[in-house]
Structure 1
C-alpha cells in the first residue's frame, strides 16, 4: 500500500499494489498546472482510494482530460483521462519512498527553456 496526501493533508490517497514507473511530462499544460514539468504515474481507478474526495476540485483542461487539485491548498493531485479506467497521480503526492523511478520524458518539444534534461531516459517529442 502506498499512501500520500496534499500539502495541507485535507486530501489523502492510498494505492494498492506496486507502483508503475512514472513519466515526466514537459507539456505546457502540465508546466502551467504544477509550476514545472509534471511527474506522474498511471494507476487503475480500482486501485486508488481517495479520502475527502469532496475536497478535490476538478478543472476540465480539454474535452478528454480533467486535472484534480486540492480545494484547500491547491496541490496538484491528478491528471484524469475521462474515458479511461486509470488516473495519473502526481508523484509529489506520495508520502515516503515509492520504490520506483522515472521511465521516460514526454512532450519534450514543449519543454521550458529554463532547464535541461540531464538524464539518458527515452524522450518522446509529443
Structure 2
C-alpha cells in the first residue's frame, strides 16, 4: 500500500460509515476472549489508523466499555462491530471485515494465540459445500437484500435523506 491509500467502510446496514486515509498499521488477528465475544466469532481482525487520518462519514457508533482501558464501537442499528479504541491512544483500530474491500489489507501478525481455537489447523481439510447455483431462496434473498453496498453512497437507504 502507498501513503495515498484510503480505506472506506461501515456497518452492514449503512447507518455508520467511515474513511481512513493512509496505510492501516499493524493489521492483525486477535484471538483474545474479549475480541471473540465482541465479534461473535473465533477471532477479530483489526488494523490501526491515526486519529488525524480517520473520519466518520455517516452516523455515529454506539460504544461499549469492554474494560477500563478499551471501548468498542458498533452500529446501534445492526450491531456490526466496527472499532477497538483506547481513547488515550493516537490511533483507533478498525475491524478489517468492516472495510469495503477487506481483501486489501492482509494481516501480518496474530495475537493472544493462547485462546486460538485448537482445531483451526484442520479447517482446510473440511469438505467444501458445492455452490448451490441459483435457487429460489438465493434469488429471494438477493431481491430483498437490505445490506449496504461496499462503497460510499450519498443516501442510504437509497432514496432516503440521511
- TM range, normalised to the smaller chain? 0.7 to 0.9
Q: CA RMSD in A?
A: 1.9
**Structure 1 contact 22–40 (Cα < 8 Å) conserved:** yes
Bigger proportion of residues as strand: 1
State how 1:15-34 maps to structure 2 within 5 Å.
15-34=20-39
Aligned to 1:44: 50
- Residues in 1 aligned to 2:72 and 2:119: alpha-carbon distance in whole angstroms: 24
- Report the 3-state secondary structure (helix = DSSP H, G, I; strand = E; otherwise coil) of the residue aligned with 1:116: helix
Aligned to 1:121: none
Bigger proportion of residues as helix: 2
- Report the 3-state secondary structure (helix = DSSP H, G, I; strand = E; otherwise coil) of the residue aligned with 2:82: strand
- TM (norm. structure 2) is 0.66
Aligned to 2:154: none
**Structure 2 contact 96–105 (Cα < 8 Å) conserved:** no
- TM (norm. structure 1) is 0.84
Kindly report structure 1 stretches of 4+ aligned residues shifted beyond 3 Å: none
Shift of 1:97: 5.6
Aligned to 1:124: none
Distance 1:115 1:65, change over 3 A: same
Identify unmatched segments of 5+ residues in structure 2: 1-5, 124-162
**Structure 1 contact 2–16 (Cα < 8 Å) conserved:** yes
Identify unmatched segments of 5+ residues in structure 1: 119-126
Deviates more, 1:24-33 or 1:96-105: 96-105
- Report the 3-state secondary structure (helix = DSSP H, G, I; strand = E; otherwise coil) of the residue aligned with 2:121: coil
- Residues in 1 aligned to 2:57 and 2:118: alpha-carbon distance in whole angstroms: 37
Question: Which of the two has higher C-alpha Rg?
Answer: 2
- Mapped pair 1:68 → 2:73: yes
Aligned residues: 117
CA deviation map 1:101-121 (0-9, x unaligned): 111110001123453398xxx
**Structure 2 contact 18–58 (Cα < 8 Å) conserved:** no
Aligned to 2:87: 82
